[in-house]
A and B are shown apart, each in its own frame.
Chain A
Amino acid sequence: MMHTVKLTVNGKEYERQVEPRLLLSDFIRHELGLTGTHVGCEHGVCGACTILFDGQAVRSCLLLAVQAHGHELGTVEGLADSAGHLHPLQMAFWEAHGLQCGFCTPGILMTLIPFMAENPAPNEMEIREALSGNLCRCTGYQHIVDAVRLATATESLTR
């Protein structure tokens, strides 16, 4: 049986009919065409599919699309104001070489958005703990941690 899913993603409303077994990650990519959310392990280990669900970082591969009915989602496409104007966190990743292949990056960014809202001036241990659920196979994490430090320093300067 098909179920109606009506939800908001990055401030825009969508409505689709879905099978219950459709994962939220596949719904976002294939039904909504928002392919910035990546799919890695599909069992909650890699963190590549991390999105915001009512403002909280969650694994979209461990949720069903039907569960998102009536909820508000955020994906990496919602971060930059426009193609030419990146989010400060994205700028920091660029500046600090926080990515190489970029596969893990959307999940890492979406993990960090609520983390930085809650911890505006995190120390390195807190940053590493926040990133513990996101795997990166390129950078060895050091540059990612640097990027977060840069982003948090920049944000506290501009506030």
Chain B
Amino acid sequence: MKPAPFDYAAPDSLAEALSLAAAHGSDGKLLAGGQSLIPAMNFRLLQPAILIDLNRITGLGGIERTASGGLRMGAMTRQAQVERDARVAQFAPLLAEAMPQIAHPQIRNRGTIGGSMVHADPAAELPVVAVALDAVFEVASQHGRRRIEAKAFFQSLFMVDVAPDEILAAIEFPAWPTNSGWAFVEVARRRGDYALAGVAAVVTLDGGGKCRHARLVYLNLGDGPVDAQVAAGLLQNESLTPDAIEAAANHAAAHEIDPTGNIHASADFQRHLARVLTRRALTTAAARATHFPS
């Protein structure tokens, strides 16, 4: 339960960190909040030759409004800061609703938004929110920066589109769409445990109250965030009646998720949870879209 030996560097600047990352490649690991990395090292599941600690770099954290009305967050922004920021509640309410469901307060005090994204645990909340909101990831290297859309960023189990010589610098959430409602719901055995299943729902209504656009993204029901586009498409141009919601929930649970089951929940039970949670999420999202149009 103690980490194997490793070297440690705590650069003061992103440029220095990028140079270290380029020099050490896949022998190095970046230390952000460490709330998943350190346990993995304590268990010796990971034995990096060197840890590059990003915590002494100034300017990698913080939240700001973008010119287009969205939110830009530095990768090292602590989850507790995201949770408490009034602008997040206003301009990215789905993210605000997901935040308190991430582990425990002590974990969120250290855990960072970027660290959780790059870790890409299929049971994590933040990647699901990023896909549901079409977030954009800005990755830095010694050769400059590139931007990656959320659905391309998450590649597979614990795999994201970040090379060993790159560092995630920021995440941008686009402006919140008008006439839109949201819900983030999950089921865990105990508060703060990894969820057995969860879903993020976003619905946008047209002037007549019908669904113009819907998004359903699932947590812990596949190799990464599961974007159920067919189920969400079933809702397009429909009124969000209980029957329409039921049909979408049934389709997603039967055909689009890929639960593997685990010691706490069989795959069948996970499908059941997906169905129930989708119903709840869409019902809540539809009501919020009606009551909070902007």
Interface string of A128-142 (1 = CB under 8 A from B): 111011000000000
Q: Are B4 and A21 in contact (CB under 8 A)?
A: yes
Question: Which residues does chain B contribute within 8 Å of A130, judged by CB atoms?
Answer: 105
Partner of B110, one of A59, A66, A111, A128: A59
Q: How far is the CA of A62 from the CA of B107 in the complex (A)?
A: 9
Question: Which residues does chain B contribute within 8 Å of A26, judged by CB atoms?
Answer: 2
Could you tell me the distance in whole angstroms from the C-beta of B173 to the nearest C-beta in chain A?
25
| In the complex, number of A-B residue pairs with CB atoms less than 8 Å apart | 92
Q: How many B residues are at the interface, by size bracket? A: 20 to 34
A23-B2, A44-B39, A62-B35 given; A111·B8 CB < 8 A? no
A145 close to chain B: CB less than 8 A: no
Residue of A nearest to B43 (CB): A43
Question: Which residues does chain B contribute within 8 Å of A62, judged by CB atoms?
Answer: 34-35, 38-39, 107, 110
A42-B1, A63-B38 given; A58·B8 CB < 8 A? no
Q: How far is the CA of A129 from the CA of B100 in the complex (A)?
A: 9
Residue with the highest number of chain A CB atoms closer than 10 Å, among B6, B31, B105: B105
Residue of B nearest to A129 (CB): B191
Q: Are A64 and B104 in contact (CB under 8 A)?
A: no
Partner of B55, one of A20, A43, A67: A67
A105 close to chain B: CB less than 8 A: no
Q: Are B104 and A47 in contact (CB under 8 A)?
A: yes
Question: Which residues does chain A contribute within 8 Å of B105, judged by CB atoms?
Answer: 57, 111, 115, 129-130, 132-133
Q: How far is the CA of A44 from the CA of B5 in the complex (A)?
A: 20
Could you tell me the distance in whole angstroms from the C-beta of B55 to the nearest C-beta in chain A?
6
A101 close to chain B: CB less than 8 A: no
B161 close to chain A: CB less than 8 A: no
Could you tell me the distance in whole angstroms from the C-beta of A16 to the nearest C-beta in chain B?
15
Q: Are B191 and A132 in contact (CB under 8 A)?
A: yes
Q: How far is the CA of A10 from the CA of B150 in the complex (A)?
A: 43
Secondary structure at the A interface, as helix, strand, loop or mixed, is: mixed
Within 8 A of B (CB), among A1-58: 1, 3, 19-21, 23, 26, 42-44, 47, 50, 53, 56-58
Q: Are B109 and A23 in contact (CB under 8 A)?
A: no
Partner of B109, one of A58, A128, A132: A58
Within 8 A of A (CB), among B1-58: 1-8, 10, 31, 34-35, 38-39, 41-43, 51, 53, 55
Question: Which residues does chain B contribute within 8 Å of A67, judged by CB atoms?
Answer: 10, 31, 34, 53, 55
Residue of B nearest to A51 (CB): B106
Q: How far is the CA of A99 from the CA of B214 in the complex (A)?
A: 49
Residue of A nearest to B192 (CB): A132
Q: How far is the CA of A43 from the CA of B1 in the complex (A)?
A: 8
Partner of B42, one of A19, A42, A111: A42
Question: Which residues does chain B contribute within 8 Å of A53, judged by CB atoms?
Answer: 109-110
Question: Which residues does chain A contribute within 8 Å of B234, judged by CB atoms?
Answer: none
Q: Are B38 and A50 in contact (CB under 8 A)?
A: no
Residue of B nearest to A115 (CB): B105
Question: Which residues does chain B contribute within 8 Å of A44, judged by CB atoms?
Answer: 35, 38-39, 103, 107
A21-B4, A62-B38 given; A133·B106 CB < 8 A? yes
Could you tell me the distance in whole angstroms from the C-beta of B92 to the nearest C-beta in chain A?
22
A61 close to chain B: CB less than 8 A: yes
Could you tell me the distance in whole angstroms from the C-beta of A125 to the nearest C-beta in chain B?
11
B80 close to chain A: CB less than 8 A: yes
Q: Are B103 and A20 in contact (CB under 8 A)?
A: no
A61-B42, A132-B191, A132-B192 given; A66·B107 CB < 8 A? no
Q: Are B34 and A111 in contact (CB under 8 A)?
A: no
Within 8 A of A (CB), among B63-110: 80, 100, 103-107, 109-110
Residues in chain B within 8 A of chain A (CB atoms): 1-8, 10, 31, 34-35, 38-39, 41-43, 51, 53, 55, 80, 100, 103-107, 109-110, 190-192
8 contacts between A and B (CB under 8 A): A42-B39, A43-B42, A44-B38, A44-B107, A47-B104, A59-B107, A63-B110, A132-B192
Q: Which 5 residue pairs spanning A and B have beta carbons closest together?
A: A133-B104, A20-B8, A43-B39, A132-B191, A42-B1
Residues in chain A within 8 A of chain B (CB atoms): 1, 3, 19-21, 23, 26, 42-44, 47, 50, 53, 56-59, 61-64, 66-67, 111, 115, 128-130, 132-133
